Amino acid sequence: MELTIIIGFRDWGLERLELSLKSLKNCIKDLEAEIIVSDFGSADTESVQSVCERMDVVHHFTQADHWSRSKAINSAFEISKGRIIAMTDADMLFTPDTFQHIVTAIESNPNSAVAVQCRDLPQELDASGIRENFGNWSFIESKAHLRPRWGMGGLFAVRRELFSLLRGLDERMHTYGGEDLDFAKRAQDAGNRIVWLENSDVRMYHIWHPSSRAVASVSPAGSQAIAENKKLLERDPTIIRNTTGKVYFRDPEHPIVSVVIASRNRGDLIAESIYSALAQTVLDLEVIVVNDGSDDNTPEVVLSIDDPRLRLINIEPSGISKARNTGTQNARGHFIAVLDDDDLMPINRLERSLRAIQKGYQASYGSFVNFTPDTREFGLNVSKLGFGESTISGNGDAPGHSTWLVPRKLMELVPYDETLTSAVDNNVAIRLAALGIKWKHTERVLLMRRLHDRQISEHDGDNQKKAAKSAQFWFESISDRETRKVSKASYKNIKWPNLPEKTDMFSHVGAWLPDELVIRDVFYTGELGSAHCYLNSSGKLQGKVTLYQNGEAKFESGYLSAVTWKDMALMRRNGLQFQVARHYWNDGVRKGVNPVDIRSSLRQAVLEHCHVKWEGHTFRVSEGAAASSTNLLILEILLEVRGLQDEAIFLTETEAPSGLIAPQAAPDKNELPANESLIRFS
């Protein structure tokens, strides 16, 4: 399909919507196109659906308690089919040839995004005025005046691939304004040109109605949302958004990252490596394991891991370069992150790598920690800021391979050299640098690298050094003598990153060691779902607090002990957000995060994930089987964040926070009045 037009909608006025759809239907008569009205929580959704059915367009409804254009547009993307995605509003009129020109403009220049300048209509051309004059374009044009190009005008169209890469509109932005400008800015930062269509056959008119922004600005909450949107627009330099937490953006065919693991005979180590990838805060990923002709149980171990994001590809023994190239050829993600089959990723590794993809930078990298399981020794390996000509000339080294994040298209363009057996990663990095690719340092540790006697570096170290030196010599041979001299001289001036992990490595990264070395406890938010039976029966669930409204669980937070890499991957698969509360060596020497950080992280979790109606509700708090100190902390923060300390009613007196006690009989969660909520411990 050529084109998908998405309209975000929520009780904006059915007459204007119908007029807008009527003009759009005229526009797409000669195109293979679809129109989706993304109805984001309208009170009278039946009437919206009726209009859509009458106009023969798709009605896509999402239950929501507040307006978010970003989420409305993003949720419709998942069901869309068009190669081009056009986003517009429910109060816009279009002349008949507008979208034919938009499609032509994008198809003739794929690295472009198209905007149309809006023309505002006077009050006499409100919905009723337009209905009387519909199709009289010369009259409508005579009454219109150009809107300045401060925003994106009410219509923005991009290739499907670009919309997917950016992960849609930023879902932190809601209520009104900023999301379209932010999206356009990120499209530009990703290397695309914004094209404002200048053509007499291309017209977009705004049907007059009272300003939505003015209405939103009246309430303190609306004003605050607008201010927060502005802050995000001005201060967030990242290109890719909506990668963590519960988001409405979905693109099942193209995950943001493909984690590629090439493996041979590592059946005893590979499971934890895979789990560390599946436990990432970035949910939208795939993990590809290329089995390079193993003759141990590696394939069986991989197949025993039940996660739809994991794929196994078996090949004949061909060497590490061939295996990694096979991973690239089968990857669907926009980016590739390589992971060795004996190493481990901190759970926020990919999140930090994606944040580093900013204007002017195509790839990212970081530092890593070497650890020796037998001795528990750590060694911090730090790369300088800004990998490129100067660092290559200075020492010939490339950043740690398993800390890279590189666009898949670049890995296809510069594959691993299959004639090499060692330093293949160094060779690729230097060839990418020769193409002018810029790398940004995340300034954090991104990998836990296991040291053992079966590593390539232990058995093929001489060849590694020779291959790395050869790649450095090749790079220098393609530049002139003066350039080489300047590059080497400037190497000493390149700064080292100021890594927070330097101060106390175990506190910062100890939680990401193998299960045999460390014990972890975590706080989680979200419903355990299918993971509940497993985690509860294994004795890991120490307590949880559940909020019910109208008999339905709306929010859940709990505490789990002795959590393994497998557990964390399982929780991620179930959509849970979690944070390690503390970790310590398995000999019982307790170290870890300060409890103040637990409170801070839990506050943030409540703010981000507890999206329920609070106003006008009476809260009853049932102690249940056990009101542990952990449960009470969760409850205290839940009420504190929402300003409900004085409104909650405890059903028992024991251990309740002071000032919140009012004993009453506990209702069943399924018998709650519509205006009451129940917080229950279990």
Domain boundaries, the chain: 3-235, 257-502, 515-681
* pLDDT value, residue 56: 98
pLDDT tens for 623-644 read 544 456 666 666 777 667 666 6
- DSSP letters of 499-543? -GGGT-HHHHHGGGS-TTTEEEEEEEES--TTHHHHHHHTT-EEE
Regions in the chain scoring below 50 on pLDDT: 459, 468, 471-474, 594, 596, 624-626, 650-666
* pLDDT value, residue 246: 77
Q: Identify whether the C-beta of residue 551 lies closer than 8 Å to the C-beta of residue 560.
A: no
Q: Residue 475 — φ and ψ, nearest 5°?
A: -60, -45
* pLDDT value, residue 397: 72
Q: Identify whether the C-beta of residue 38 lies closer than 8 Å to the C-beta of residue 48.
A: no
* pLDDT value, residue 25: 98
Closest CA to 223 of 232, 213, 231, 233: 213
CATH code that applies to domain 257-502? 3.90.550.10
Tell me the three state secondary structure of residue 612.
coil
Q: Collect all residues with Cβ–Cβ distance below 8 Å to 463 and sequence separation of at least 6.
A: 421, 422, 423
Supply 39's token pair. Answer: 């109805």
**Is 465 exposed, middle or buried, given 0-12, 13-18 or 19+ CB atoms closer than 10 A?**
middle
Give every strand in the sheet of 3-9, ordered side by side: 58-62, 33-40, 3-9, 84-88, 155-159, 112-115, 193-196
Determine which helix (DSSP H) or strand (DSSP E) holds 493, and give its type and residue range: none
Same fold, 3-235 and 257-502: yes
What fold characterizes domain 3-235?
Spore Coat Polysaccharide Biosynthesis Protein SpsA; Chain A (3.90.550)
Residue with tokens 């339905």: 552
pTM: 0.87
Q: What is the dihedral of CA 391, 397, 403, 408, to 10 degrees?
A: 80
Instruction: Measure the CA–CA gap between 559 and 633, rounded to whole angstroms.
Output: 11
Instruction: Measure the CA–CA gap between 375 and 324, rounded to whole angstroms.
Output: 31
